[in-house]
């Protein structure tokens, strides 16, 4: 997806070039229209000045050739038929007439006195002889286009170079963010000419990184403090349990067993939280996920099954070797299994390992009818999600087609 994205410099250059092309096109059209209007206006204006001089000196009823360009006609009926059918007999003034053969003439008409008679006389000028020919206009237009393309290329190169220089700090900022490590929260600095917007972005980004750093440090400190505070009373409890067991009183044996299990769960939970909090600093080893490992992970969950008549089946069809800490792998297996047991009564829970995946399925009440108030549901699955995110494993859970649901982790 990101490979198809264009840089800011590319987009700015593209917009600039398109804008320049539109300006050049509009300018060429306007220039073409202006040249023709200027030629026509100049011819008509010149004829209105020169024509009135020639017409006032006209004394007879003959057509007079006043020069190589201008011909004088004493009245309407002396005009050539090609002109008389385009001009009204009473019309006076100046205009330009275009013919089908692409020739162009300027016509000037005014009232003159010939003897005792006042009549409309005409002066007609062949403007083709003094205006640009098609070849001349083509040569000029071609030169205009070539010079425009040269300017187009120079401005385009300058725009691209300028936008590259403007975007260089942004590219450096992107590289700094991509190359920074997980625990690197040092202020980001970029070189080159910086804009106000970039400085504001850098300032906000560095402040945000500092806040993240404080939160990470606070979380790490909290984890250390909690683990220390939990381990201290657990050590005391373990010591007192050892003393009580030496008394060999059957009345307190069942209570001692429950305290021992609760203590073991607290130790395991604390150790899991610590490994999650340490992140990438924790060194991992290869762990073989085989039948013995899975059974050991769920061995403490067998006793609760006695009262619920729920069968727990462990099936490892293909052992999987994982680069992860065994405490976290055990936590994943135990939490998924315990979650299924909590929602299954008089049924069966199957823990299965095959083809680089772990699957825990049950025939319980399913996801829709699950109650978050039941012990172990919320925090257990959240721990599983956090561990999967740590090792980039895929985790999802869905209802079965019949009863219950299946949780799957793809390693």
pLDDT, tens only, 222-268: 666 666 656 666 776 777 677 666 766 665 666 667 677 767 777 77
Q: What is the CA radius of gyration of the chain?
A: 48
Which residues touch 198 (CB under 8 Å, ≥6 apart)?
A: 169, 170, 173, 190
Q: Is the pLDDT of residue 283 over 70?
A: no
Answer for the pair 188, 205: CB distance below 8 angstroms, yes or no: yes
Alpha helix stretches (DSSP H) within 195-343? 196-245, 253-278, 291-297, 326-342
Q: Cα(335)–Cα(377) distance, rounded to whole angstroms? A: 9
Say if residues 367 and 344 touch (Cβ distance below 8 Å): no
**pLDDT given at position 393:** 94
What average pLDDT does this structure show over 319-346?
88
Task: Render pLDDT for 138-167 as a digit per residue (tens, 0 to 9).
Answer: 787 788 778 878 887 888 788 778 777 777
Q: Report the chain's mean pLDDT, rounded to a whole number.
A: 79
120 or 366: which leads in pLDDT: 120
Q: Kindly state the DSSP code that residue 246 receives in the 8-state scheme.
A: T
Helix, strand, coil percentages for the chain (3-state, nearest 5):
60, 20, 25
DSSP string, 210-243: HHHHHHHHHHHHHHHHHHHHHHHHHHHHHHHHHH
Tell me how far the alpha carbon of residue 245 is from its chain's centroid. Answer: 66
Percent of the chain with pLDDT over 70: 81
Encoded tokens for 58: 């006209």
Q: Is 334 exposed, middle or buried (0-12, 13-18, 19+ CB in 10 A)?
A: buried
Distance in angstroms (rounded) separating the CA atoms of residues 32 and 137: 9
């Amino acid at each position: 997806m990101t490979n198809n994205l264009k840089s800011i410099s590319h987009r700015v250059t593209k917009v600039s070039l398109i804008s320049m092309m539109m300006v050049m096109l509009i300018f060429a059209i306007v220039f073409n229209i202006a040249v023709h209007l200027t030629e026509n206006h100049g011819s008509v204006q010149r004829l209105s000045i020169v024509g009135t001089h020639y017409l006032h000196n006209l004394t007879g009823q003959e057509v007079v050739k006043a020069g190589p360009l201008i011909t004088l006609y004493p009245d309407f009926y002396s005009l050539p038929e090609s002109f008389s059918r385009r001009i009204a007999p009473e019309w006076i003034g100046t205009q330009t007439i275009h013919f089908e053969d692409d020739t162009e003439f300027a016509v000037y008409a005014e009232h003159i006195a010939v003897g005792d008679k006042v009549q409309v006389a005409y002066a007609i000028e062949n403007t083709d002889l003094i205006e640009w020919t098609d070849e001349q206009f083509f040569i000029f237009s071609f030169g205009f286009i070539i010079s425009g393309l040269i300017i187009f290329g120079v401005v385009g190169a300058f725009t691209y170079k300028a936008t590259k220089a403007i975007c260089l700090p942004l590219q450096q900022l992107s590289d700094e963010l991509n190359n920074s490590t997980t625990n690197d929260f040092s202020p980001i600095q970029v070189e080159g000419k910086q804009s106000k917007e970039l400085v504001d972005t850098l300032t906000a980004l560095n402040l945000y990184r500092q806040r993240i750093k404080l939160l990470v440090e606070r979380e790490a400190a909290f984890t250390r403090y909690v683990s220390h505070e939990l381990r201290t009373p657990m050590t005391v409890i373990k010591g007192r349990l050892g003393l009580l067991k030496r008394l060999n009183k059957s009345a307190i044996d069942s209570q001692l067993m429950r305290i021992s299990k609760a203590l073991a769960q607290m130790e395991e939970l604390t150790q899991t939280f610590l490994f999650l909090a340490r992140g990438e600093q924790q060194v991992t080893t290869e762990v073989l996920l085989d039948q013995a490992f899975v059974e050991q992970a769920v061995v403490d969950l067998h006793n609760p099954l006695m009262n619920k008549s729920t069968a727990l089946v462990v099936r490892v069809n293909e052992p999987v070797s994982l680069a992860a800490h065994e405490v976290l792998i055990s936590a994943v297996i135990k939490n998924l299994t315990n979650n299924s047991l909590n929602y299954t009564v008089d049924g069966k829970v199957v823990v299965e390992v095959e083809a680089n995946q772990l699957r825990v399925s049950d025939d319980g009440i399913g996801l829709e009818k699950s109650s978050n108030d039941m012990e172990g549901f919320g925090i257990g699955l959240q721990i599983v999600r956090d561990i999967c995110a740590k090792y980039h494993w895929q985790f999802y859970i869905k209802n079965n087609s019949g009863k219950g649901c299946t949780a799957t982790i793809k390693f």
